[in-house]
Structure formats: structure tokens, C-alpha cells
A and B are shown apart, each in its own frame.
Chain A
Amino acid sequence: MLSVLLTTHHSLLTKNNPLSASQITFYIISAFILGSGLLAVTTRKIFRSAIWLLFSLIGIAALYFWMDLEFIAAVQIIVYVGGIVVLIIFSIFLTQKAGNEMPLPVRKRKVFAILAVLIGFVLSYTLISQYNFQPEGTQPLNAGVSNIGTQMLSTSQHGYALPFEVVSILLLAAMIGCIVIAAPFKPLSAKQNSTELNGTTAINNNDELKKVLEDLGETLHE
């Protein structure tokens, strides 16, 4: 494995041409992604961990920009950086004291985790570097928004209309599920002891909420 790595580096060095700007950009972006990713899983303060994750995700968006896929990069920034990381930071503030350090992992677990990860990485990368990838596309990739949108909603053979609908149902189900799971907790005994009127109104409210949400989803669909 090491020899494989060394030979790739050797071939890079012996080509004797200076790195172009695009290559340098790629190596800077990948070092940024991997460095901030590594810090995100090793730092002991949870809030810093979330911020390093944010930087790693921005680096991945930069990698998509580098590959000329502007739409995917925009989606990455909007959904991950603007949505998921903000959600994670809010949940950290709800559940944790952000200044506290997390306990160090048990030494034995850490050693075996490093060992397992290194072996897995070496095995995978050896397979990848020895596989002979054959490009099959002849023309350059055209990932414009109009192309993506046309194929996304087309019902012909290579269209993605059905997965699109399934994903929208999934998002609706996730939304309802989040509301049901994170709704204020009512202990079972309290519900039994309370008067029947209160109990039924609570259930009715819940049902009405679900109905309203479903109607909202259907109108969004149409």
C-alpha cells in the first residue's frame, strides 16, 4: 500500500511539469476538507466540533465549484451549511453546556478505532488505485440547471419524476415525525389521571394538527 502511494507520488514528481493553478486549487481544497474534518471528529469542545464540520462542508461545496457543478454546490451550501449545521448548533445549545470539554475516549477504544480505520482506508485505497477506470462519456458534462430540472421532472424512461415524488413524501413524513417525536412529553400516568375531557381534546388537537399538515403537503404537491 505504501509502495502504491509512493509510486503515485514519484510519478507526479518525475513528470517535471510545474503544478497548474487548477491542480494547486484542488490540493488546497482537499487539504482544507480533510483537515477540518479531522478536527471536527477529534476536538473536545462540542461547539468547536460543529464549527469545524461547517468548514468541512464549505470545503466540499468548493470542491463542487471546482468540478463546475454550480447547482450541486449551491444546494450543498443551502441545505448543509444553512440548514443542517444551524440545526445541529441549535440542538447543542438546547442540550449541552457549550463550554464544557467532552471526556476523552477510552484509550483501548481509541487505539482499536485508529487501527480499524487505517486498515479499512489502506484496503479501500489499494483497491481504488489498482482499478482501471475507463471513461465512457464522450462529451463534457452539461449540468446546467435547465438540464437537471428537465430530467428531474420528466416521466420518460430516464426521468426522475417517481423518485422526486417519493422524496417529497419522505420529507412530509419526516416533518410529521419530528413534530410527533419532539412534541411536549406527556407522562402516561398523568394522562390517565386527568379528566377524560382534557385527554380527548389533546388527542383531537394532535389529529387536527396532522390533518392540517397533510393538507398543506398535498397543496404543496399540487
Chain B
Amino acid sequence: MSEIPLTHILFVSTALFFIGMYGLFTRRNMITMLMSIELILNSVNINFVAFNKYLYSDQLNGVFFTIFIIAIAAAEAAVGIAIIINLYRGHHSIDVEDAGEMKY
């Protein structure tokens, strides 16, 4: 466990963050964009846990931040999907290019 340096875990989380970023840039479907955001939030969680484990092991603050981020991500996904379904009723498409106006 301690043989793995912290930078290798940070490599994974940085790569995951930019994979999510790539998805956010190239996708135009709202559900897949939401999935990219989930990847980004997860990379942040890995960072918090790794810093807590390696650098500040006598505290638990990173663990708490991870728990709160997971709770907020769940709320965000639920609200996002409600908005997407509402938009689909009006536009019959969930492509961001088709959603030029929010009220019609």
C-alpha cells in the first residue's frame, strides 16, 4: 500500500478529470454530458480520499468531504435528469443545440 507514491494516485484522478472534460467538450447529448460530470466529481473524490490517506492520516476531513460530495452529486443528478425529461417533453430532443430557449 505505502509502496505506491501519492503522485500515481493523483495521476489516475487527473487523467479521469480530463477524460470527463473531453466528454463534456465533445458530447452534445445532455445525458452523456451528465455522465461526464459524474466522472469529474469522482476524480475529485479520489483526490480527497488520497490526500486524507497519505498526508493527513490522523484526521477524517477528506472522508467527510467525499461523503458530502457524493450526496450533492446524487441530488444534482436527480435534478438534472428531471430537467432533461421536462425539456424532452417540449423539444422532443435532448441535444443541447436544439435547446436554444428554455421557455417557449
Q: Which residues of A contact B (CB under 8 A)?
A: 8, 20, 22-23, 26, 30, 33-34, 37-38, 40-42, 46, 49-50, 53, 56-57, 60, 63-64, 66-69, 71-72, 75-76, 79-80, 83-84, 87-88, 91-92, 94-96, 102-103, 105, 109-110, 112-114, 116-118, 120-121, 124-125, 128-129, 133-141, 143, 147-148, 151-152, 158, 160, 163, 167, 170-171, 174-175, 177-178, 181-182, 185
Q: How far is the CA of A107 from the CA of B88 in the complex (A)?
A: 27
Residues of B within 8 A of A148 (CB): 60, 63-64, 67
Instruction: Decide if A69 touches B49 in the complex (CB within 8 Å).
Output: yes
Q: How many interface residues does chain B have, given as a range?
A: 35 or more
Residues of B within 8 A of A120 (CB): 18, 21
Instruction: Indicate with 1 or 0, residue by residue over B63-87, a CB within 8 angstroms of chain A CB atoms.
Output: 1101110111111111101111110
Identify A182's interface contact among B39, B56, B85, CB under 8 A.
B85
Question: A interface, by DSSP: helix, strand, loop or mixed?
Answer: helix
Q: Which residues of B contact A (CB under 8 A)?
A: 1, 3-4, 6-8, 10-12, 14-23, 25-29, 31-32, 34-36, 38-39, 42, 45-46, 49-50, 52-60, 63-64, 66-68, 70-79, 81-86, 88-90, 94
Identify A174's interface contact among B3, B50, B59, B75, CB under 8 A.
B75
> B25: shortest Cβ distance to chain A, in Å?
4
Instruction: Decide if A84 touches B14 in the complex (CB within 8 Å).
Output: no
Which residue in chain B gives the minimum CB-CB distance to A43? Answer: B32
Known: A69-B63, A121-B15, A128-B10. A133 touches B55 (CB 8 A): yes
Instruction: Decide if A88 touches B77 in the complex (CB within 8 Å).
Output: yes
Instruction: Decide if B57 touches A87 in the complex (CB within 8 Å).
Output: no
> A38: shortest Cβ distance to chain B, in Å?
6
Instruction: Decide if A76 touches B82 in the complex (CB within 8 Å).
Output: no
Can you pick out 9 interface pairs between chain A and chain B where the beta carbons lie within 8 Å of each other?
Answer: A23-B4, A38-B19, A41-B23, A67-B53, A79-B73, A94-B85, A137-B58, A139-B57, A181-B86
